[in-house]
Amino acid sequence: MEYILIAISAIFVNNVVLSQFLGICPFLGVSKKVSTALGMGAAVTFVLTLATIVTYLIQNYILNAFGIGYMQTIMFILVIASLVQMVEIILKKMSPSLYQALGVFLPLITTNCCILGVAITVGNGDYNLQGLAEPSMLSGVVYAIATAIGYALALVLFSVLREHLELMDVPEAMKGTPIALLTAGLMAMAFVGFSGMV
């Protein structure tokens, strides 16, 4: 039951984009088409899950064990960048079709602060809800996957709205980025309605 609560919280209540404002650059940049939003959402889910596992192990068995927790941010940045490069190389060799499908999304993930933010949150155990058991690797992975699903959900919903806005008669001064920011703000306000769920 606690994993379901963590997942609902990460997807709807504490959505990484709409309530924590992490990953805004790709959120605005990749959301012009639904197909690119789906690709970015899938790539973020894959890398975020992998990065959370690796950074959790580094946090608990290296940084905490040797008392060098102050190195967390720089270590996590290096790990995430290396991980994305390694995944890119492996996909290029093992599955060229998947590599072509992900295309530009893998390098974009290296600079996505959502990945680093979730890795730090899981490393510190700050994602756990009150009254639940101690943070563990499994609950951290559940949180990471749910956060990635929440990110993808927000990205796809936003891209659907942006495609619809292209067909609407929007005032000239509001076209492009202004209406996109206004729409994102309204989406964030709508997601506040989920705050009573958990």
Instruction: Kindly report, residue by residue over 137-166, the tens digit of the pLDDT.
Output: 898 999 999 999 999 999 999 999 999 988
Q: What is the pLDDT of residue 99?
A: 77
Q: What per-residue confidence (pLDDT) applies to 130?
A: 63
CB 20 within 8 A of CB 126: no
Going by C-alpha positions, the residue among 193, 191, 196, 197 that lies closest to residue 20 is 191
**Report field, pTM of the whole predicted structure over 0.95:** no
